[in-house]
């Protein structure tokens, strides 16, 4: 019984510390530049990017417009019931925003963050691209950067400056989810 009284608060403290660490995000270098922005996939509804994914796409388009990257690499496969792969919906949105077709790469098979990065790494190698900015939501950045580092991708974080997770409840749920998935990554590499 005494052990349980010690373990439960220790576990709660650990989870709280990890959640705080995730919530503060990795330090970003203002105006960092790279050859490519790897835009991590998110849900689409049919052929329309979700609000969360639209924020990632808009941020990547701005990075390109500010000449901080030359290439946008959209990741994400096709979910059940979707008309397009996540990356294809992102490409269509970026094209509508004025990004030239030759400045966009897509991979259409990945279904998880780690798989997004594995496929992006292959595409970077094939296109002779060495340095990347990883584009995702602020609360997703710690895990994404940990995965990129584990793969040996030379990358810097570039979190979306805005997020669709605005209410406390939505942020809390996303943070809990990321805390769970961070531990899963640490334990199982996925």
For residue 105, which phi and psi values (nearest 5 degrees)?
-120, 145
pLDDT digits (tens, 9 = 90+) for 125-181: 999 999 999 999 999 999 999 999 999 999 999 999 876 666 677 778 889 999 999
What is the percent of the chain where pLDDT is above 90? 73
Please report, for the domain that includes residue 55, its CATH number: 3.40.50.620
Q: What is the CA 180 to chain-centroid distance, rounded?
A: 16
pLDDT digits (tens, 9 = 90+) for 151-161: 999 999 999 98
pLDDT digits (tens, 9 = 90+) for 76-111: 999 887 788 999 999 999 999 999 999 999 999 999
The Cα–Cα gap between 83 and 79 comes to: 9
Angle of CA points 146, 151, 154, to nearest 5°: 80
The Cα–Cα gap between 27 and 24 comes to: 8
Total domain count for the chain?
1
pLDDT surpasses 70 at 185: yes
For residue 22, which phi and psi values (nearest 5 degrees)?
-65, -45
Based on DSSP, count helices (H) and strands (E) in the chain, helices before strands.
6, 7
Give the mean model confidence (pLDDT) for residues 18-24: 92
Structural domain containing residue 39: 2-188
Mean of per-residue pLDDT scores for the chain: 92
The Cα–Cα gap between 156 and 24 comes to: 16
């Amino acid at each position: 019984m005494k052990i349980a009284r010690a373990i439960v608060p220790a576990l709660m403290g650990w989870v709280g510390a990890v959640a705080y660490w995730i919530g503060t995000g990795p330090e970003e270098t203002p105006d960092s530049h790279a050859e490519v922005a790897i835009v991590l996939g998110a849900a689409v509804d049919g052929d329309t990017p979700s609000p969360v994914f639209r924020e990632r796409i808009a941020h990547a388009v701005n990075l390109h417009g500010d000449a901080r990257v030359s290439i946008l690499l959209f990741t994400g496969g096709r979910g059940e019931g979707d008309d397009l792969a996540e990356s294809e919906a992102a490409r269509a949105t970026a094209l509508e925003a004025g990004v030239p077709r030759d400045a966009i790469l897509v991979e259409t098979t990945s279904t998880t963050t780690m798989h997004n990065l594995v496929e992006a790494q292959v595409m970077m190698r094939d296109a002779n691209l060495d340095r990347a900015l990883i584009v995702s939501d602020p609360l997703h950045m710690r895990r994404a950067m940990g995965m990129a580092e584990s793969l040996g991708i030379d990358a810097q974080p570039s979190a979306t400056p805005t997020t669709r997770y605005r209410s406390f409840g939505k942020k809390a749920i996303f943070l809990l989810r990321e805390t769970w998935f961070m531990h899963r990554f640490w334990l199982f590499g996925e």
